[in-house]
Amino acid sequence: MNLQDNTEFTNDQKSAIEKFSKLKVGALFMKQGSGKTRVALELINTTDSEFVLFVCPFSTKSNLLDEIKKWGLNREYEIVGYETISASDKEYLRVMDKLKQAHKPFIVADESVFIKNDKSKTHNRMLKFRDLSEYRLILNGTPITRDEWDIYNQMEFLSFKIFNMHRHEFLSTFFKTIRFKKKGMPVREFKKLSEVNIDYLRKLIAPYIFEADLNFDKKVSEKEIFIDYSEECYERYQERKESLLNSLEYGLSVVQQFTNLAVACFDDKKRHEEIAKHLKGQIIVFCTLLSEVKNISNKIDCYVITGKTKPDDRSKILSDFKNDNKPLLLTFGTGAFGLNLQFCNRIAFASLTYDYAKIDQAMSRIRRLGQERDIEYTYFTSNLGIYQMIKDNITKKQTLKQLIIDKIEKGELNENSL
């Protein structure tokens, strides 16, 4: 990649272009709204590639196309959804043939969190695409998480040579084993990143990664509104809490039970109806559960987008929302990625997810270049223990698995903490 005219770029964009102009692979970990797509297009335009394959979440295809049209791309390209690659053998084989025939193809994996799962068909098919390409770039609006497997899987897509080690070697080099035993039960083992070789890990990936936060010049405020629970919710929560604690006592797997406990906290019609009373004017409301969407929308006049909303209908809803003064309800899976909603300046979280990346992406819908007003985030809180645990976990940017391991290590999973 060779750097050409870099006028009208931010300093971070200039730095990213300069760094990757010397490489054939790279990862842009730039905050949502900081213009990473613009950087990608500039880099593509300076290569000798004659075909570009953009792979992104299906829900963001139209937005990516708008970005390409806005900034320009002077060679043949195609946009394919991760979901399409995974679900359609016909489309997968067609894209494979296209890459085989193309001259020095360039692959851009947008929202690369979608290729983190090495056991998924999407990840494995992306590796097949990798082997047929000359240039590769991954774009991620979420900073590198503390789950180092995420890093391995994304670097593996760029090039196996970055780590030059197989998974078992990576595990033995960078992770330590934590043993957990309850009286009368067999020993359980967990893997956790070791601090011993962390500098070595960073040294290996540093040449191929560019990280940048968004230089946001507007005021950002947060507020919390406490929402009480119903008796039915509390009874259900206590039952699942007791089940989880019993599983911990006997050394059983509890990951799904943590998820179930969060559902017990948030799946409460009384809570939903109380939240609805606080939603006024143009505001984006993120929900983890469809029951939240249903119960809130039954109480107020609002727009709704879920996984069942057709792409064309989504575009119409967003257009209407932009010019109206009433709430928009979104589920995390459909609304957290790829939508530019900086015409709005308020977001509320009806509930929270353990997935830090989804929260971060959701917040970035309004915190981005082009936002002209101060922004506000509202959290509808709960005094059930799992709520604060999720909130703390998001602050630490951990995965659910890491949360559980840390709590077990510190002896903090008990009746009082939940």
Q: Tell me the average confidence (pLDDT) per consecutive run of 10 residues in the chain, 418 residues long.
A: 57 92 91 84 95 91 89 95 93 97 96 74 93 95 63 89 91 79 64 78 90 83 97 96 83 78 96 98 97 98 92 86 96 71 95 87 84 94 93 76 67 67
| Residue among 11, 73, 13, 53 nearest 138 (CA) | 53
Look at residue 215 in the predicted model and tell me its pLDDT. 76
Q: Identify the sign of the CA torsion 334, 144, 406, 377.
A: negative
CA distance 13 to 40: 10
Look at residue 2 in the predicted model and tell me its pLDDT. 43
The highest-level CATH class for domain 11-212 is alpha beta
Residues of the chain with CATH 3.40.50.10810: 11-212
Give the CA dihedral 60, 66, 67, 69, nearest 10 degrees.
140
- SS3 sequence of 308-330: CCCHHHHHHHHHHHHCCCCCEEE
| Residue among 334, 357, 333, 359 nearest 347 (CA) | 359
Look at residue 192 in the predicted model and tell me its pLDDT. 73
Residues of the chain with CATH 3.40.50.300: 220-410
Look at residue 4 in the predicted model and tell me its pLDDT. 44
**Taking the complete model, does pTM exceed 0.85, yes or no?**
no
CA distance 278 to 228: 14
Integer-rounded Cα radius of gyration of the chain: 23
123's tokens? 């990840």
CA distance 135 to 292: 43
CATH architecture of the region 220-410: 3-Layer(aba) Sandwich (3.40)
3-class DSSP assignment, residue 75: coil
Cα atoms in the Cβ-side hemisphere of radius 13 Å centred on 280: 2
